């Protein structure tokens, strides 16, 4: 690794959430290729595929990233490109390294996709990734915020999915304060989008705002699910509107009949219990999500994805809870949060062993798989987890039916 990364490592703590990082696999993704046969056919890998129909397996949470160097239209905030903002610069470097494109100047967009191809080829035929576009932040007056963290156009996500239909599906990202939000949604639906993705803390939409109503009505009419981050969000710098990530703020969408997928099951952070008034006490975001999951009226509407729930800063205790709640499994969707499984210090396999969710013998195998194929690592890890003798059901991974469900 180039030496400047040594200095940047000092900024890593800030860039990587400030909450305990693990160096058990070093700082940087080694980005190996060609998984050795002894790993590909390892008993742990075989067991992971047991009972899974790969053709039904869509990774329901994956990020389409790049730098815009292919003419994709991707725009990254200037702070992430400048050494004057070391934490942001390091964050960008971690993402590029996680996607194994740090050595591809001028060819990042394309290399990012090629690396995913290689990783998916290491899974089984039929597996696809649902790639997320990422809209700009908008102000309440409907104008774009020049401080947007990141912009990944819907059109690019559509083009990538169209060019590689055996690997990708796509999710649009449309800010509901845009004057043209309904037209943009109709365009996305007509162009094969499977969902809409929001990250309120960075994009600046309040899911509880009446401003979202016409967008929710259109989502319900088009039968497109909304995948929305909830709980604390650290992945992308943004407008620090963390309160917008309160899962209770999604009640407005649910009341309008929108299918909502709460990303990460809101498994990090704390939010105000708005059910007890605007000044209600502070509660774990996950507990607020759990309360909503247990409300019968949301049975066919509210879902959660388990993306990133195996990360070090989320692993306790929400992960054990969702494994144990078998009654929730039909409403859980697996996603990898790619490229985050490639950000080495934010996962600790050893910690999952120490809290009893993983057998010690699995740890070295999983770590080695991770150095070659972070998607296979994420899948086998989740399939291997046990809590109180329970495991994630195969259907958690067979998400295709959820996205192909038609209205009615």
Determine the Cα–Cα distance for residues 317 and 265; give it in Å rounded to an integer. Answer: 12
Supply the minimum distance, in Å, between the C-beta of residue 71 and Zn ion: 25
Q: Is the dihedral of CA 347, 353, 356, 361 positive or negative?
A: positive
Q: Using DSSP, state whether 314 is helix, strand or coil.
A: coil
Q: Kindly tell me the burial class for residue 141, based on how many C-beta atoms sit within 10 Å of its own C-beta (0-12, 13-18, 19 or more).
A: exposed
| Residue closer to Zn ion, measured from CB, 132 or 392 | 132
Burial class (CB in 10 A: 0-12, 13-18, 19+), 353: middle
User: Is 46:40 a contact under the CB 8 Å cutoff?
Assistant: no
Beta carbon of residue 67, minimum distance to Zn ion (angstroms, whole number): 18
Q: Which residue lies nearest Zn ion, judged by its C-beta?
A: 337
Closest CB to Zn ion among residues 242, 387: 242
Phi, psi of 124 (to 5 degrees): -115, 150
Q: 361: which 2 tokens? A: 């013998």
Whether 280 contacts 274, CB under 8 Å: yes
Shortest Å distance, C-beta 112 to Zn ion: 15
- Least Å distance, CB 294 to Zn ion, is 25
Choice between 268 and 366, CB closer to Zn ion: 268
Non-local (6+) Cβ contacts of 140 within 8 A are 177, 211
* Residue 222: CB minimum distance to Zn ion, A: 23
Using CA atoms, how far apart are residues 193 and 108, in angstroms rounded to an integer? 24
Strand-by-strand arrangement of the 168-171 sheet: 58-63, 128-132, 168-171
Q: Which of residues 305-344 bind Zn ion (CB under 5 A)?
A: 337
In the complex, least distance from residue 47 CB atom to Zn ion, rounded to whole angstroms: 27
Q: How far is the CB of 264 from Zn ion (least distance, A)?
A: 8
Residue matched to tokens 């009226």? 297
Q: Which is nearer to Zn ion, 21 or 131 (CB)?
A: 131
Compare residues 169 and 337 and give the one whose CB is closer to Zn ion.
337
Residue count, binding to Zn ion (CB under 5 A): 1
Closer to Zn ion by CB, 226 or 365: give it: 226
DSSP codes joined into one string, 186-228: HHHHHTT---EEE-HHHH---TTSGGGHHHHHHHHHHT--EEE
**Site map for Zn ion, 337-376, x if CB under 5 A?**
x---------------------------------------
109 part of the interface to Zn ion, by CB under 5 A: no
Question: Closest CB to Zn ion among 42 and 312?
Answer: 312
Residue numbers at the binding site for Zn ion (CB under 5 A):
337
């Amino acid at each position: 690794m180039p030496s400047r990364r040594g200095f940047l490592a000092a900024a890593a703590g800030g860039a990587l959430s400030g909450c305990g990082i693990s160096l058990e696999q070093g700082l940087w993704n080694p980005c190996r290729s060609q998984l050795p046969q002894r790993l590909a056919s390892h008993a742990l890998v075989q067991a992971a595929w047991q009972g899974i129909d790969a053709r039904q397996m869509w990774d329901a949470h994956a990020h389409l990233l790049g730098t815009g160097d292919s003419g994709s239209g991707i725009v990254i905030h200037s702070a992430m490109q400048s050494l004057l903002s070391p934490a942001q610069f390091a964050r960008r470097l971690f993402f590029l390294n996680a996607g194994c494109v740090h050595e591809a100047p001028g060819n990042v967009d394309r290399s990012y996709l090629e690396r995913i191809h290689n990783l998916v080829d290491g899974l089984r035929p039929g597996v696809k990734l649902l790639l997320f576009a990422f809209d700009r932040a908008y102000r309440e007056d409907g104008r774009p915020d020049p401080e947007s963290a990141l912009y990944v156009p819907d059109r690019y996500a559509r083009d990538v999915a169209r060019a590689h239909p055996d690997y990708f599906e796509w999710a649009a990202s449309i800010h509901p304060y845009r004057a043209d939000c309904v037209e943009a949604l109709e365009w996305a639906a007509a162009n094969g989008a499977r969902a809409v993705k929001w990250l309120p803390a960075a994009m600046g939409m309040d899911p509880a705002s009446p401003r979202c109503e016409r967008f929710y009505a259109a989502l319900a009419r088009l039968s497109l699910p909304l995948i929305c981050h909830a709980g604390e969000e650290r992945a992308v710098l943004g407008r620090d509107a963390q309160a917008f990530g309160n899962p209770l703020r999604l009640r407005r969408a649910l009341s309008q009949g929108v299918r909502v997928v709460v990303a990460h099951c809101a498994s990090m952070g704390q939010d105000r219990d708005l059910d007890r008034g605007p000044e209600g006490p502070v509660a774990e975001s996950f507990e607020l999500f759990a309360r909503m999951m247990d409300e019968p009226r949301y049975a066919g509407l509210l879902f959660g994805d388990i993306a990133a729930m195996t990360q070090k800063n989320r692993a306790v205790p929400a992960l054990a809870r969702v494994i144990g709640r078998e009654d929730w499994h039909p409403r859980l969707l697996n996603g990898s949060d790619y490229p985050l499984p490639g950000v080495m210090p934010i996962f600790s396999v050893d910690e999952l062993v120490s809290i009893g969710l993983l057998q010690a013998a699995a740890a070295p195998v999983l770590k080695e798989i991770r150095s070659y194929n972070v998607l296979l690592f994420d899948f086998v890890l989740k399939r291997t987890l046990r809590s109180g003798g329970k495991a994630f059901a195969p259907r958690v991974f067979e998400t295709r039916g959820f996205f192909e469900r038609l209205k009615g």
